[in-house]
Structure 1
């Protein structure tokens, strides 16, 4: 079993030319989450359990842990796999900070085991792609 101190985090931070309320809307409204992230049954309520369904056929089991409107959102991001290399129990946290030109969004996904190098690389790549789509959705 991996010690919690050994777990690794992927962090992506980007400045957006959109005010925090536009990004918050895209982070918390199911029809918009579907456009930039995955199909889902999300509800912005602490304790709500929901699923994210990837185009690749995978399903993530999630639970809302924290909601601070237009500031912070956190939920579990669990992927169950028969292959331990791909099984992941993690937490995704979004933090919004207003800037002079819009908002800075920081995403942290914590819980990667040291041996999950491929998953860590995939998360870094995937979140960068998701943020590109998020920028388009927030512009609507």
Structure 2
């Protein structure tokens, strides 16, 4: 039996920025493009949007959960990888604890394994870019 986290990438990171700034980075397209990808993201359940992932193409997404300042989750690469990206935020005395969970990779397929490995390698850099953008 595979481990319970099979097909899941999870990263915990602390940033020295208020929750409101991190939430803005996740939900404001003009900030989002600076650290990850362009797209018409909005924190509204049911909102469908596309993220331009450059060489990896445009990925269709749909918001499935939006709790301002706490949690944003969306289906990612709908019809391709069919995964879920969730951002959980917790304020603390020195900033915000961010937990990114990218879940649902089908490790029984070549595409699922490739996505899992690629995103697993890529997410730490994406989070570092978000922190750098917020530090400007």
Q: TM-score range by the shorter chain?
A: 0.7 to 0.9
Question: Normalising by structure 2, what TM-score?
Answer: 0.88
Question: Normalising by structure 1, what TM-score?
Answer: 0.85
Contact 1:112/1:120 (CA < 8 Å) preserved in 2?
Answer: yes
* Within-5 A mapping of 1:1-140: 8-78=7-77, 80=79, 87-115=80-108, 116-140=112-136
CA distance in 1 between counterparts of 2:34 and 2:56 reads 16
Contact 1:6/1:114 (CA < 8 Å) preserved in 2?
Answer: no
CA distance in 1 between counterparts of 2:5 and 2:24 reads 34
> Any gaps of 5 or more consecutive residues in structure 1?
81-86
After TM superposition, give the deviation of residue 72 of structure 1 in Å. 0.3
**CA-based RMSD:** 1.8
After TM superposition, give the deviation of residue 118 of structure 1 in Å. 2.8
Q: What secondary structure is seen at the aligned counterpart in 2 of 1:18?
A: coil
Count of residues paired in the alignment? 130
